[in-house]
Protein backbone atom coordinates (compact mmCIF):
# COMPACT_ATOMS: atom_id res chain seq x y z
CA UNK A 1 0.00 0.00 0.00
CA UNK A 2 2.61 2.55 1.01
CA UNK A 3 4.85 1.47 -1.84
CA UNK A 4 2.34 2.95 -4.30
CA UNK A 5 2.80 6.33 -2.68
CA UNK A 6 6.59 6.39 -2.51
CA UNK A 7 8.26 9.03 -4.66
CA UNK A 8 11.77 9.23 -6.01
CA UNK A 9 12.62 12.21 -3.81
CA UNK A 10 11.43 13.55 -0.49
CA UNK A 11 10.18 17.13 -0.86
CA UNK A 12 9.61 19.53 2.01
CA UNK A 13 6.49 18.65 3.98
CA UNK A 14 6.88 14.90 3.59
CA UNK A 15 6.23 12.92 6.76
CA UNK A 16 7.44 9.38 7.46
CA UNK A 17 7.58 7.92 10.97
CA UNK A 18 10.16 5.31 9.99
CA UNK A 19 12.21 7.48 7.64
CA UNK A 20 10.98 6.07 4.33
CA UNK A 21 10.72 8.18 1.22
CA UNK A 22 7.34 9.73 0.54
CA UNK A 23 5.88 12.93 -0.84
CA UNK A 24 4.00 15.76 0.82
CA UNK A 25 0.59 14.16 0.16
CA UNK A 26 1.34 11.32 2.57
CA UNK A 27 1.78 10.84 6.32
CA UNK A 28 3.43 7.40 6.39
CA UNK A 29 3.44 5.39 9.60
CA UNK A 30 5.25 2.48 7.94
CA UNK A 31 4.57 -1.23 7.93
CA UNK A 32 3.98 -3.37 11.00
CA UNK A 33 7.49 -4.80 10.83
CA UNK A 34 9.07 -1.33 10.42
CA UNK A 35 7.17 0.47 13.15
CA UNK A 36 6.80 -2.16 15.87
CA UNK A 37 8.75 0.00 18.33
CA UNK A 38 7.71 3.43 17.05
CA UNK A 39 3.94 3.04 16.58
CA UNK A 40 3.29 4.17 20.16
CA UNK A 41 5.01 7.49 19.34
CA UNK A 42 2.87 7.93 16.23
CA UNK A 43 0.21 10.19 17.78
CA UNK A 44 2.84 12.79 18.68
CA UNK A 45 4.46 12.33 15.26
CA UNK A 46 1.16 12.95 13.45
CA UNK A 47 0.46 16.10 15.50
CA UNK A 48 3.95 17.49 14.84
CA UNK A 49 4.73 16.40 11.26
CA UNK A 50 1.48 15.73 9.39
CA UNK A 51 -1.22 18.04 8.01
CA UNK A 52 -4.95 17.96 7.36
CA UNK A 53 -5.53 16.66 3.85
CA UNK A 54 -2.56 14.28 3.85
CA UNK A 55 -3.26 10.58 3.38
CA UNK A 56 -2.46 8.64 6.56
CA UNK A 57 -1.10 5.19 5.69
CA UNK A 58 0.38 2.46 7.84
CA UNK A 59 -0.07 -0.93 9.40
CA UNK A 60 0.30 -2.49 12.81
CA UNK A 61 -0.20 -5.80 14.58
CA UNK A 62 -3.68 -6.63 15.87
CA UNK A 63 -3.48 -7.33 19.62
CA UNK A 64 -4.60 -10.68 21.02
CA UNK A 65 -8.36 -10.82 21.41
CA UNK A 66 -9.00 -8.97 18.15
CA UNK A 67 -9.08 -5.51 19.70
CA UNK A 68 -8.31 -2.44 17.60
CA UNK A 69 -4.72 -2.18 16.49
CA UNK A 70 -2.79 0.99 17.26
CA UNK A 71 -2.97 2.16 13.64
CA UNK A 72 -6.79 1.81 13.62
CA UNK A 73 -6.99 3.80 16.85
CA UNK A 74 -4.83 6.52 15.31
CA UNK A 75 -6.98 6.62 12.17
CA UNK A 76 -10.12 7.03 14.28
CA UNK A 77 -8.43 9.85 16.21
CA UNK A 78 -7.11 11.84 13.24
CA UNK A 79 -9.40 10.95 10.30
CA UNK A 80 -13.11 11.24 9.65
CA UNK A 81 -14.81 7.86 10.09
CA UNK A 82 -16.20 7.95 6.53
CA UNK A 83 -12.65 8.28 5.12
CA UNK A 84 -11.11 5.30 6.95
CA UNK A 85 -10.26 2.20 4.91
CA UNK A 86 -9.09 -0.81 6.95
CA UNK A 87 -7.84 -4.11 5.59
CA UNK A 88 -7.00 -6.97 7.97
CA UNK A 89 -4.55 -9.57 6.70
CA UNK A 90 -2.33 -12.28 8.10
CA UNK A 91 1.41 -11.93 8.01
CA UNK A 92 4.47 -13.80 9.15
CA UNK A 93 6.70 -11.86 11.54
CA UNK A 94 9.77 -13.63 12.91
CA UNK A 95 8.15 -17.02 12.25
CA UNK A 96 4.87 -16.17 13.98
CA UNK A 97 1.59 -15.76 12.11
CA UNK A 98 -0.03 -12.47 13.15
CA UNK A 99 -3.03 -10.47 12.07
CA UNK A 100 -2.12 -7.06 10.68
CA UNK A 101 -4.36 -4.04 10.10
CA UNK A 102 -3.52 -1.82 7.13
CA UNK A 103 -5.07 1.65 7.24
CA UNK A 104 -5.53 4.43 4.71
CA UNK A 105 -7.49 7.63 5.35
CA UNK A 106 -7.38 11.39 4.87
CA UNK A 107 -6.31 13.36 7.93
CA UNK A 108 -8.97 15.89 8.85
CA UNK A 109 -8.97 16.33 12.61
CA UNK A 110 -5.71 18.18 13.33
CA UNK A 111 -6.16 21.53 15.02
CA UNK A 112 -4.55 24.42 13.19
Phi/psi at 97 (nearest 5 deg)?
Answer: -80, 125
Lowest-confidence range among 17-26, 49-58, 66-75, 98-107?
A: 17-26
Q: Answer yes or no: is 17 within a domain.
A: yes
Q: Answer yes or no: is 49 within a domain.
A: yes
Provide the domain limits for residue 91: 2-106
For CA atoms 40, 29, 50, 12, the dihedral sign is positive
Q: Are 62 and 99 in contact (CB under 8 A)?
A: yes
pLDDT at 5: 32
- The pTM is what? 0.76
Q: How many domains does the chain have?
A: 1
- Per-residue pLDDT tens digits for 47-76: 999 999 999 999 999 988 878 999 999 999
Give the chain's largest Cα–Cα span: 43
Sheet holding 55-61, edge to edge: 15-16, 26-28, 55-61, 96-106, 85-93
pLDDT at 67: 87
Q: Answer yes or no: is 112 within a domain.
A: no
Segment 3-20 mean pLDDT: 45
Specify the CATH number for the domain of residue 30. 3.30.110
pLDDT at 91: 80
Q: Answer yes or no: is 111 within a domain.
A: no
Residue 44's contacts (CB-CB under 8 Å, 6 or more residues apart) are: none
Residues 17, 106, 54, CA angle at the centre, nearest 5°?
Answer: 55
- Residue 37 DSSP code: T
Amino acid sequence: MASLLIGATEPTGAASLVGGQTDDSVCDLGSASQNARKIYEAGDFIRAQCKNGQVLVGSSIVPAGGFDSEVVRLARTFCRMADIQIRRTQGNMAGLVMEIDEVRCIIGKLSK
